[in-house]
Chains A and B, each alone.
Chain A
Amino acid sequence: MTDTLLFYLLVASFLWAAGLHGLIVARHVLRRVIAVNIMTAGVFLALVTLAARAPEPDPVLHALVLTGLVISVSATALALHLGTAAFSTEKPEPTTR
């Protein structure tokens, strides 16, 4: 494992840990959404780094990260929607259709 890879893995774990910290400490919905996204970025970075270990990049891991991104976007959208609903005073409309 080269030093560059190790560096990226360290960054990834830092992001993951920072996100985790943020998610536990933060109370505001928006902060928590951001914290989750930082955490996600950490994991994706780790996956992409692992994909670059061999001279030929590993396509499986890239596919995984792509799938993960889609999921992460939907989860963020749902969290934002629920967050908005929590702030609005009137009864929210049914959430998902």
Chain B
Amino acid sequence: MNFALVSLSIPLFTGLLLLMIPRYGGPWVVLSSTLSLAAAVASLVEVVDSGNQAVLLGGWPELLAIRLHLEPINALLLAFTALIQLLVSLYWSRNCRNDGFWALASLLHATLAALWLSGDLFNWYVTLELLSLVSVSMVALAGKDSIKPALNYLFLSLLASLCYLLGVAIIYGRYGVLDFQILSRMTVGDTSTAMAMLLMTLGLMVKGALWPLHLWLPPAHSRAPTAVSALLSALVVKGPLFILTLLWTRMAPMELTDKGGEFLAVMGVFALLVGGWCSFRTPLLKEMVAYSTVAQLGYVMLALGLMLQWQLRETLVALWLFVLAHGLAKTSMFLAAGEMQRIFGNKRVTALRGASQTAPVAMFAFAVAGGSLIGLPPSGGFLAKWLLLEPLFYDLQRWPLAFAVLLSTLVSAAYVFRIVTLAFDRAERGQAPSRDRVSEWLALLPALLVWGMALVSEPLILWLTRVAQ
């Protein structure tokens, strides 16, 4: 547990320090996220070796104290957050033009770490709020154009928090407990619980940009600075998703899971198809990547919904694999998109005409990340999709869902290869744009990691199956 707390406090103190002395942010954040990654890995090893752990902060008794708890999945997410943070800050320390970024990024990291480690409903509310405040500020770093989307993001996310908080109030009024592990033994399927679950779910769906409550995401993610877009898409939307998953898989009473699962699965399919279609149609490059996030989150919803509706444990593994694979792939894709946007000085998709000749490595990164989003073997996206598909065939009733997954594969192929095909155009351009090779390779790195998941796929899947309960 101590390692996990270290992994949480390093970025926290780095962030506070950088608020006071905003200089040399890049190197500091790279260092702090490396250390935090090391601590998180150590905590992962620890939790695998010696089982789940918990700590009550401040020496207060149970029910009163803030309880932080560490399970294998939390530790994995902790390490994953530090890894993404490291990859993004490596890239951004070459390109950053705004010192405000580094303090906020560290605080974002610390907030997420706190979110993974928290275990009671109110503490989650606090971390969710912090997450929104930091994310909104980071979106606004891009300047004038991003203020409107940032404000919109802020209001929607406040609305969502208040929905969530009202749900929490109802739960507390009904059971008198906030710790979700205790709650998970108490909940019954009465009206007030159902009401609370509905309110919390809606709130979390807005925060996690789950279709159809995703409308704030594309403008906010596409207008933000490149590194911010990457962090938001790879990590921030996963926070509410994590809470949603825990609420439904552990706390929701049996009577509700069936309906809830069906709802989530259907919404997931819509997200995949509608989000993918929007991604295919949009004329702006980063907006295309942002809509692809909306679509990909559909996989997560579908996996969660299936798990609830049919009690399919395998899909929970698929869910966590989607979270990891999407995080890495999306980081790479946003960094590559931002890099190319910088090289060509144009936000439109059509600016990428000929990018395979003029910015080959960045374009390659984009395509490789896209391959994982489509789910081409042997990428991480494929592993997740395979685990999702496999149980769908056991029962004739679920085959339509399997074909929905097939269709969504084709839709994602369409939006990725729309860009890739353009890149092979040999139309004459003006002078060759200036490139930064190191940046391009740093953008490629996360995509290589997501394909590299194939090398450890079997142990990873077996381990997740064991720990995902």
**Which residues in A have some Cβ–Cβ distance to B below 8 Å?**
16, 19-20, 23, 29, 32, 36, 39-40, 42-43, 46-47, 50, 53, 59-61, 64, 67-68, 71, 74-75, 78-79, 82-83, 85-86, 91-92, 94-97
Closest CB in chain B relative to A7 CB, distance in Å: 15
Please determine whether A78 and B162 come into contact, CB atoms closer than 8 angstroms.
no
Residues of B within 8 A of A96 (CB): 100, 104, 137
Please determine whether B151 and A29 come into contact, CB atoms closer than 8 angstroms.
yes
Please determine whether A91 and B143 come into contact, CB atoms closer than 8 angstroms.
yes
Please determine whether A64 and B122 come into contact, CB atoms closer than 8 angstroms.
yes
Docked pose: A34 CA to B36 CA in angstroms: 39
Residues of A within 8 A of B178 (CB): 60
Please determine whether A94 and B98 come into contact, CB atoms closer than 8 angstroms.
yes
Interface residues on B, range: 35 or more
Please determine whether A71 and B126 come into contact, CB atoms closer than 8 angstroms.
yes
B234 within 8 A of A: no
DSSP majority for the A interface? helix
Residues of A within 8 A of B98 (CB): 94
Residues of B within 8 A of A82 (CB): 136, 140, 147, 150-151, 154
A-contact 0/1 string along B64-94, CB 8 Å cutoff: 1000000000000000000000000000000
Docked pose: A92 CA to B137 CA in angstroms: 12
Please determine whether B100 and A83 come into contact, CB atoms closer than 8 angstroms.
no
DSSP majority for the B interface? helix
Considering only CB atoms, which chain B residue lies closest to A47 in the complex? B169
Please determine whether B141 and A95 come into contact, CB atoms closer than 8 angstroms.
yes
Residues of A within 8 A of B99 (CB): 94
Considering only CB atoms, which chain A residue lies closest to B145 in the complex? A91
Sample of 17 more A-B contacts, CB < 8 Å, known A46-B166, A95-B100? A20-B159, A32-B155, A36-B155, A43-B169, A46-B173, A60-B64, A64-B122, A67-B126, A71-B130, A75-B129, A78-B136, A78-B154, A82-B136, A82-B154, A85-B140, A85-B147, A95-B137
Q: A67-B126, A95-B100 in contact; A39/B144 too (CB < 8 A)?
A: no
Please determine whether B169 and A50 come into contact, CB atoms closer than 8 angstroms.
yes
Q: A43-B169, A46-B169, A60-B64 in contact; A86/B133 too (CB < 8 A)?
A: no
State which residues 102-148 of B face A: CB under 8 Å.
103-104, 122, 125-126, 129-130, 132-133, 136-137, 140-141, 143-144, 147-148
Closest CB in chain B relative to A58 CB, distance in Å: 8
**Which residues in B have some Cβ–Cβ distance to A below 8 Å?**
19, 22, 63-64, 98-100, 103-104, 122, 125-126, 129-130, 132-133, 136-137, 140-141, 143-144, 147-148, 150-151, 154-155, 158-159, 162, 165-166, 169, 172-173, 178
Docked pose: A59 CA to B169 CA in angstroms: 14
Docked pose: A97 CA to B130 CA in angstroms: 15
Please determine whether A39 and B126 come into contact, CB atoms closer than 8 angstroms.
no
Docked pose: A28 CA to B103 CA in angstroms: 31
Please determine whether A95 and B140 come into contact, CB atoms closer than 8 angstroms.
yes
Docked pose: A32 CA to B92 CA in angstroms: 34
Q: A23-B155, A78-B133, A79-B155 in contact; A97/B100 too (CB < 8 A)?
A: yes
Closest CB in chain B relative to A63 CB, distance in Å: 9
Of the candidates B130, B143, B155, the one having the most CB atoms from chain A within 10 angstroms of its own CB is B155
Closest CB in chain A relative to B243 CB, distance in Å: 17
Q: A71-B126, A75-B129, A94-B141 in contact; A39/B162 too (CB < 8 A)?
A: yes
Closest CB in chain A relative to B199 CB, distance in Å: 10
Residues of B within 8 A of A20 (CB): 159, 162
User: Could you say which of B104, B129, B151, B169 contacts A79, with CB atoms under 8 Å apart?
Assistant: B151
Residues of B within 8 A of A85 (CB): 140, 147
Closest CB in chain B relative to A49 CB, distance in Å: 9
Closest CB in chain B relative to A23 CB, distance in Å: 5
Q: A43-B165, A75-B129 in contact; A23/B151 too (CB < 8 A)?
A: no
